[in-house]
Chains A and B, each alone.
Chain A
């Protein structure tokens, strides 16, 4: 299926990242590359530092050591909205949508960084504001069409089942038209059918838009099926990195999952 899609050069490089909270070392000296158009899965047991890693990439956490290089720009720390402007979007492990707002409005918030006018201007209905709104709405409608959620467009998010909320969250991230998409456990808590749908959408995003995807996932079946490369963390350290088959056979990984005295 993905034969045509070409994996390109490294677009994001994390060098020797170390992050600690007080005395707790969440990440120790981790280096990871992300290549253009690939699907990279980060796996590891609970508390291994997977979410911390995503938070470092999109600028929520600021590592004490190490650098992040994105498209040639090196940084130690950046604010999340700055990374968003650079084309990095993400979803959260616990859904972080506006429950009282409709699906459409939630997805529209994904366009926020692309809006040129401030909210005072936007309070006016006519003229350039209207044109801008229509432009953004068009992008959102494409996302809605893509994710096949037309029937819930106007439904408040709080009334939707969990699996659909996850899909809406993916929609909001897609509305930002990202180059790099970070997905934090996109399939947690889903049933088999919902998982299959989500896998399909992730692969389609990667395929249709060429979006680079970094995802954290616990379901090994899913990880092995959809990712091009897998990085394994354990106790804040990277213990393996490579194609799924290779990682599956790696003794350190097996030990980490089955439990070996440290």
Chain B
């Protein structure tokens, strides 16, 4: 057992952990929320009181063991407490996406057979009123912010404060009930149902037990050495497993303080005020912050700009190495120390990262430049790999050996294995119990002996770190026998600003070939600076200079791939630059801007043939849909370029 953590065999549910913290660190801050411009704080003792009052109030309203309690709203302490209240009565909270429209909520509410719903405000109440007729099991709706609800007279509407008032009266009558009820829970009980966002079909309710969430949270805490002193900001949707572990599970296991922002619009400002010690965000947040910094630096005075660029150069050279504890020359060390005073320190302060010890990112691949930027500033940002079915943690990047393109080592007590097809399977204390009311889905995902299919293909590198390359169903094989992972290659290409989209082919072929789409802004800008005249997209895309530019990008990717023993066969041998932008209106992309590889292959079959036939040119006529719905055709004669490939490096040692 890690030092300082409660004995998790005794305190095996969240209500028990809450009571434990209220006892041993009752006076320490547990939750904060910015309200009326000030950070309001509740300590562990007060939180236990609030939860008790709400739980007993729910009981008075008729909440039974096993009932589901839906939770809808932005991150608010009161909503997290409602989860604890439901759990202490033996019920199961079902946090839901607060921005879902009424129709989407109907499915979850009906599927989970929710009897009670706790919502944040009038907006959510209105949504529930709209669908209440279809959700036959829904009996009570409890709102936390009464604003605008004064004249709502529906008998099933109750305010959060009113429920707590009922609970306080009840507590005076039965002072022992709450503790007794909390003591009835066991680690193997169901603690929460998290609905997946449903990007891959109908959303599924992932059932997690207390021990799933607690042991997974413990794994994260032990791996990273988190303590009760951490401060984190809870700002990601409560329905997302990431928030459930980072803002709820880990806090209750380690006993640290969680803060909720004033509103979803003030997150960045609140982040800066709070200065968390531990921060979790998807890559796009780090990307947005970096873009903001760059834009603001463009507006800064010349001296500041010069200082910024000079010291960022220093950081790029030595920052990450210093962070990893690798040897760095004295001069660079001194310069870096100076940079910390003049640039890195103030910059981190503006971003709200001056106290940060650790940051995690997950969800999708983070661009290596963005990743290196934060690491070079001395911020220990790491990628993790996880899923709802794993209660988040599958792998975490280890301190001192961070690689851009791996997601790290298995988290404590997590076992990994690779299926024949290359799919990653894991078995861990966090592996979910089952999908709610979906045995078929459970069987397809979880094997008898507890291995869970991730649906992602990957492999372990020489250090035992996991590298995720693609969705398993997209991974194919080259005729040479090498693995072909289109998304991995496309992502590598797309990290170059000049390449907007890439479509790689290679399954059952002799080599990899790809279509590229230029980024008209980046390439257009590049062309202007070179005085290169062009008349439009098609013209620019076909220029020899542009082919040369993209050829350099492909070359770099090939060099990179050559270093990778598993993927050295996947080097791009031939490519062409498409004469039109891939577009969702033409069915070439999904609405979320993912390439529809099969559709494109069919539509541009001629081009694919040409790539693999040795032709140097291919003329194509493609139909396009204009914004007003009219259709037209674009004719072009496309050049096909050969790219240089490299001998794979032999592994040393």
Q: Any chain B CB within 8 A of the CB of A94?
A: no
CB pair A144 B37 closer than 8 Å: yes
Q: Any chain A CB within 8 A of the CB of B148?
A: yes
- Give the number of residues in A that approach B within 8 Å (Cβ atoms): 19
CB pair B151 A145 closer than 8 Å: no
Contact with A along B137-152 (1 / 0, CB 8 A): 0000000000110110
CB pair B266 A145 closer than 8 Å: no
Q: Any chain B CB within 8 A of the CB of A4?
A: yes
Report chain B residues within 8 Å CB of A192: none
Q: Any chain B CB within 8 A of the CB of A2?
A: yes
Q: Any chain A CB within 8 A of the CB of B156?
A: no
Q: Point out the residue from A3, A145, A204 that lies within 8 Å of B36, measured CB to CB.
A: A145
CB pair B36 A138 closer than 8 Å: yes
Given A138-B36, A145-B36, CB of A207 within 8 Å of CB of B151:
yes
Chain B residues 37 to 88 lying within 8 A of chain A, measured CB to CB, are: 37-38
Report chain B residues within 8 Å CB of A137: 37
Report chain A residues within 8 Å CB of B263: 148, 150-151
CB pair A151 B269 closer than 8 Å: yes
Report chain A residues within 8 Å CB of B35: 145
Q: Any chain B CB within 8 A of the CB of A141?
A: yes
CB pair A3 B269 closer than 8 Å: no
CB pair B36 A208 closer than 8 Å: no
Report chain B residues within 8 Å CB of A144: 36-37
A142 to B147, CA, bound (A): 12
Q: Any chain B CB within 8 A of the CB of A195?
A: no
Report chain B residues within 8 Å CB of A151: 262-263, 265-266, 269
Q: Any chain B CB within 8 A of the CB of A76?
A: no
Report chain A residues within 8 Å CB of B147: 146, 204, 208
Contact with B along A1-19 (1 / 0, CB 8 A): 1111000000000000000
Min Cβ gap A199→B in Å is 13
Contact with B along A198-225 (1 / 0, CB 8 A): 0000001001100000000000000000
Report chain B residues within 8 Å CB of A204: 147-148
Report chain A residues within 8 Å CB of B262: 150-151
CB pair B36 A142 closer than 8 Å: yes
Contact with B along A130-148 (1 / 0, CB 8 A): 0000000110011011101
Chain A residues 31 to 80 lying within 8 A of chain B, measured CB to CB, are: none
Report chain B residues within 8 Å CB of A248: none
CB pair A153 B37 closer than 8 Å: yes
Report chain A residues within 8 Å CB of B269: 151
CB pair A4 B36 closer than 8 Å: no
Report chain B residues within 8 Å CB of A104: 37
Min Cβ gap A45→B in Å is 35
CB pair B148 A4 closer than 8 Å: no
Report chain B residues within 8 Å CB of A141: 36-38
Q: Point out the residue from A1, A146, A148 that lies within 8 Å of B151, measured CB to CB.
A: A1
CB pair A4 B151 closer than 8 Å: yes
Most chain-B CB neighbours within 10 Å: which of A4, A141, A151, A204? A151
CB pair B266 A150 closer than 8 Å: yes
CB pair B151 A2 closer than 8 Å: yes
Q: Point out the residue from B150, B151, B265 that lies within 8 Å of A150, measured CB to CB.
A: B265
Q: Which residues of A contact B (CB under 8 A)?
A: 1-4, 104, 137-138, 141-142, 144-146, 148, 150-151, 153, 204, 207-208
A2-B151, A4-B151, A141-B37 are known contacts; what are 11 more A-B pairs with Cβ within 8 Å? A1-B151, A3-B151, A137-B37, A138-B36, A141-B38, A144-B37, A150-B262, A151-B265, A151-B266, A207-B148, A208-B150
Q: 7 pairs across A/B with beta carbons < 8 Å?
A: A1-B151, A3-B151, A144-B36, A150-B266, A151-B269, A204-B148, A208-B150
